[in-house]
Amino acid sequence: MNFNKIVEMNDISFKYDRETVVENIDLTIEQGQFLGLVGPNGSGKSTLIKLMLGIVKPDKGDVKIFGKPIKQFNQWEEIGFVSQKANSFNSGFPATVLEVVKTGLVSRIGAFKFFNRKHKEKALEALRTVEMEEYANTNIGELSGGQQQRVFIARALVSDPSLLILDEPTVGVDAKHVTAFYDLLGKLNQDKGISLLMVTHDIGTITEHATHVVCMNKTIHFHGASEEYKEFDDEDLNRLYGHSVQQLTHNHDHEEIRP
């Protein structure tokens, strides 16, 4: 789909019960960007994604996807989503990798139509992209966490989305696979032209790979190019979003740090 601005969020606020989780957020995702969304635990990152996907409705502000108000938007196959919870599925579920990946095509196929050979080919192609093709007929529960993560990315890729949203995808993936994982994302962004939005704790690593960074803690504290962000010193960061995140920047070699 050709539209320069994939997501536009204008002045979004949201409360859970009485607690404000997201406040006055303006965020635009443009075609071709690899955007890293960072912030400490409980900073509203996952909620922002839910607002973007229409899973929860904002108390204030509006969301547009490909220029359309979210209520009218129905081409969900344009957006691939890999949830934080993707890995916590019932691992005893009797499904093969191929069967799981094909579910990514459900909205593209539409109601009252069936899976066919073409869809199988499409799913295998997505598995090839994430280098998991040889596991197509393996039971999903038999794979390692990192391999499952790749399968869920294939499921998100299979409908040829313009934007891929990943919510903390490296949690639970061991450190040596994280590098390979970022290489895969780079390949998707540069070779396939897929825009990416990745939610993460790991500021150090994301600034190495993403083109743009957004730092949030209820509100947006920084939004700009990764290069610009890297020039900040600790004092700037302190001002930006408090000490809890600064700690992260010092420890970015660690796989997972909870401030």
Partner 1 sequence: MIESFIQYDFLQNAAITGILIGLVAPLLGVFIVVRRLSLIADALSHITLTGIAASLLLEKRVTGINELNPIYMGMVFSVGGAILIEKLRKLYKHYEELAIPIILSGGIGVGVILISLADGFNTDLFSYLFGSVTAVSRSSMWTVLGITIAVLTIVILFYKELFVLSFDEEHASITGVNGRWIHLLFIVMVALVIASSMQVVGILLVSALMTLPVAAALRIASSFKQTIGLSIAFGEFSVIFGLISSYQLSVPPGGTIVVIAILVLIMSIIYKKVRSQLYIKGETV
Judged by beta carbon, residue 107 or residue 219, the one nearer partner 1 is 107
Residue 114 interacting with partner 1 (CB under 8 A):
yes
Of the candidates 72, 111, 191, 235, which one interacts with partner 1 according to CB under 8 A? 111
Residue 112 interacting with partner 1 (CB under 8 A):
yes
Residue 92 interacting with partner 1 (CB under 8 A):
yes
Residues in the chain: 259
Side chain identity, residue 13: S
User: Measured in Å, how far apart are the chain's first and last C-alpha atoms?
Assistant: 39
Residue 198 interacting with partner 1 (CB under 8 A):
no
**For residues 48 and 22, is the Cβ–Cβ distance under 8 A?**
yes
Site string for partner 1, 46-65 (x = CB under 8 A): -------x-x----------
Residue 143 interacting with partner 1 (CB under 8 A):
no
Q: Which stretch binds partner 1 (CB under 8 A): 24-32, 76-84, 200-208, 239-247?
A: 76-84
Residue 81 interacting with partner 1 (CB under 8 A):
yes
Judged by beta carbon, residue 52 or residue 215, the one nearer partner 1 is 52
**Rounded CA gap, 220 and 230, in Å?**
17
Of the candidates 20, 107, 219, 226, which one interacts with partner 1 according to CB under 8 A? 107
Q: Where are the alpha helices (DSSP H) in 34-163?
A: 45-52, 97-102, 106-109, 117-129, 145-157
Please report, for the chain, how many H helices and E strands are present, in that order.
Answer: 10, 10
Exposed/middle/buried for residue 111 (C-beta within 10 Å: 0-12, 13-18, 19+): exposed
Q: Nearest-CA neighbor of 117 among 98, 135, 94?
A: 98
Binding site for partner 1 (CB under 8 A): 53, 55, 74, 76-77, 79, 81, 83, 85-86, 89-90, 92-96, 99-100, 102-104, 106-107, 109, 111-112, 114-115, 137-139, 155
